[in-house]
């Protein structure tokens, strides 16, 4: 998937992956895509809830055995 910015949150536990995601989203324009990688299994639930609450769109979630990769489209306004 094509993305505009990447954030590495591997090795971090809740709430740090979400905090890194928020920072990354603040650094891109509306409708651009942020890629976030995390190793925290709880981040799957956290990122789903985060996107529902904030209006950003979770475009795709790729999972490896230990790495979760999220592609999040920043809301338009």
Active site residues: 14
Q: Are 57 and 72 in contact (CB under 8 A)?
A: yes
What CA–CA distance (Å, rounded) separates 3 from 14? 24
Q: How far is CA 64 from CA 28, 37, 68, 69, 70, in A?
A: 26, 11, 6, 8, 12
């Amino acid at each position: 998937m094509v993305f505009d910015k990447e954030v590495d949150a591997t090795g971090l536990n809740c709430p740090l992956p979400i905090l890194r995601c928020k920072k990354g989203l603040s650094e891109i324009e509306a409708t651009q895509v942020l890629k976030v990688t995390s190793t925290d299994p709880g981040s799957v639930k956290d990122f789903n809830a985060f996107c529902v609450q904030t209006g950003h769109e979770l475009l795709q979630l790729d999972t490896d055995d230990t790495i979760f990769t999220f592609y999040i489209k920043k809301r338009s306004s």
